[in-house]
Amino acid sequence: MTLEVPDRRRVRRADGPVIADVVVPPSKSIANRALICAALAEGESEIVGIAPGDDTSAMLDCLERLGVVIDVTERDQRLVATITGNAGVLPDGPISLQTRLAGTTSRFITALAALGAGPYVIDGAPPLRARPMAPLHNSLAALGARIEPGEEWGHLPVTVSGPLGGADAVMMPGNVSSQYVSALMMVAPYIRRGMRLGLSTELVSRPYVDITRSVMAAFGVDDVDVSERTIHVGESCYFGTDYTVEPDASSASYALAAAAVAGGAVSVKGLGYDALQGDAKFIDVLVSMGCTATVSAGDMVVMRRRDTPLRGIDINMADISDLVPTMAVVATQAVTPTRITGVGFIREKESDRLGDLAAELNKTGAQVVVEDDGLLIVPTDMLHGAVLDTHHDHRLGMAFGVLGLVVDGIEVNDPSVVSKSWPAFWEALDAIPARHS
């Protein structure tokens, strides 16, 4: 299967087309939004499908430290959280909130903390401290919160004291991270007169904002209007509800990409044509490159004959930017170049997802060029094994695992980084069977 040494994992090359039914974890993006809404709600909620990764674990820990009563159990091999909401009332501080490496959690929790009197100290691991938070901190300050940086404005650690309500209109750039927008949207119902958020630039990752609006509606807040440059949320409150989280489409991309690069057929269960997540559209991208696919209400399947070549494409991935590492790996197996655009902002994710990704893939002999807002991948037949660094980025680690299915000798440093979103990823990759042609 795979050979392991401490902090490094060698990926077994597939010796034929892959054939597998893959179960991916629940969406951490949806789960974390549902957890915020349930924590603020009046009454009890049950969330079925809590994502098992570090991000969601950090969210649960922070909410409990803010006085939210949470009971997590297992049912039918899924984690279920029963949550008694606080109706928007937070305990006074001082309270320390550790968000570890979780960017989404840090931003959502910072906005949530601004609803209480505080003080609340939000902090994370060193790589998270390096990530930008200024647009969110600026907006919360404009809304009346007291924001005290620990070292540098716009970074963690930060001390937050509320409540919000100093202004009902704020402005932030839309082309940095949709997480800032979603964080403000979810707390806005508890701001007097609600909130009108203006965007000074075009919104990136719009599907994630749509997910936020959908989850808010499921918990009873439907006075939300999202237009091209303005988002309005009316004053309201959430109510406890039962909510089921769909499988994670970002995680599904690695399973579907396995069929694209190695040939064969891979099915992802539970993710169908009614998926909330924009990343579910990755299946259409693979079809445009030469794969065939079927999508039903309950699953999606990608297939490729090994004698059918993959074609390179030009693609703007602004709305599915988390899939850039997956896409880059698939593009190395195409017969013509691929250009990815619209994703300059991902340089400040868990890693520099342009520079670090290109540098690691180029270790294998790939020809990946960093451009102003994306990547150019020129295929070559000279790929070879290499030791690849993950740069604290789970998406790089999982994408490199997919590459190892078709390039012999791929070894991944710090393989446990995948625990951020899919702790069982390597076991799932090992379980994809291969048969001789």
**Active site members:** 322
Tell me how far apart the alpha carbons of residues 196 and 129 are, in angstroms, rounded to a whole number.
29
| DSSP code of residue 434 | B
Tell me how far apart the alpha carbons of residues 92 and 111 are, in angstroms, rounded to a whole number.
15
- Going by C-alpha positions, the residue among 336, 334, 258, 271 that lies closest to residue 302 is 258
| DSSP code of residue 63 | H
**Which pair of structure tokens corresponds to residue 406?**
């078709």
Helix (H, G, I), strand (E, B) or coil at 10: strand
Tell me how far apart the alpha carbons of residues 357 and 332 are, in angstroms, rounded to a whole number.
12
Tell me how far apart the alpha carbons of residues 315 and 52 are, in angstroms, rounded to a whole number.
31
Tell me how far apart the alpha carbons of residues 72 and 75 are, in angstroms, rounded to a whole number.
10
**Which pair of structure tokens corresponds to residue 284?**
């259409």
Q: Cis peptide leading into 25, omega within 30 of 0?
A: no
- Spatial contact of 105 and 59, defined as CB atoms under 8 Å apart: yes
Tell me how far apart the alpha carbons of residues 93 and 214 are, in angstroms, rounded to a whole number.
31
**Which pair of structure tokens corresponds to residue 146?**
């007291």
Give the angle subtended at the CA of 89 by the CAs of 88 and 95, to the nearest 5°. 115
Residues contacting 17, CB < 8 A, separation 6+: 262, 263, 264, 265, 306, 434, 435, 437
Strand pairing category for 18-22 and 264-269:
parallel
